[in-house]
Amino acid sequence: MPEPLIIGHDYVADFFGCLNEQVLTDYRIARKPVIEMIRDSGLTYCSVNFHTFHNSTWSGVFILAESHVAFHTWQKEQGGRVMVTVSTCNESRDNKENTRKLFEALINFFRPTSTHASLVRRIQPDQDVIKLLTV
């Protein structure tokens, strides 16, 4: 049986006890460095949107040509946590290494004391699965 075609990579993570505490309540601190990390990892930055909550925590989505990077933060008093999703597709090239580089750069930026992360490799279903899903 042939290996399945990997069509994308998703890191889904929680960063706990982030030592870069100021960024948890001020998205402006993250904006420029994250754009630079995206570009340095070989991915293509397109745009960004943020929403700030009443307690100054924030959510943000960076749109990439290859997909997206999303964040939601919690204050130090709430565990100093950041929920992170880095999602890329492999439509024009294999982005496995670029995705890994970006994820590692984000860990270095937020400086969590612990991380819980999963890597999901999305695969192209074979034709039998596609036929089953479209019936």
Residue type, 130: I
Tell me the mean pLDDT in the region 103-112: 97
| pLDDT value for 60 | 98
Residue 128: pLDDT over 60:
no
The count of structural domains within the chain is: 1
In a domain, 80, yes or no: yes
CA distances from 20 to 25, 45, 102 (A): 10, 23, 17
Q: Is 1 contained in some domain?
A: no
Residue 119 within a domain: yes
Q: Which of 42, 34, 96, 97 is CA-nearest to residue 65?
A: 42
- When pLDDT is averaged across residues 5-25 and rounded to a whole number, the result is 92
Q: What CA–CA distance (Å, rounded) separates 86 from 69?
A: 5
Q: What's residue 46's pLDDT?
A: 98
What is the pLDDT averaged over residues 56-78?
A: 93
Taking all residues of the chain, what is their mean pLDDT, rounded to a whole number? 89
Q: Kindly tell me if the per-residue pLDDT of 130 is higher than 70.
A: no
Residue with the larger pLDDT of the pair 2 and 95: 95
| Residue 123 is assigned to a structural domain of this protein | yes
- Residue 99 inside a domain? The answer is yes
Which pLDDT value is given to residue 103? 97
Boundaries of domain holding 128: 6-134
In a domain, residue 43? The reply is: yes
Give pLDDT, residue 62: 98
CATH number of the domain at 59, please: 3.60.90.10
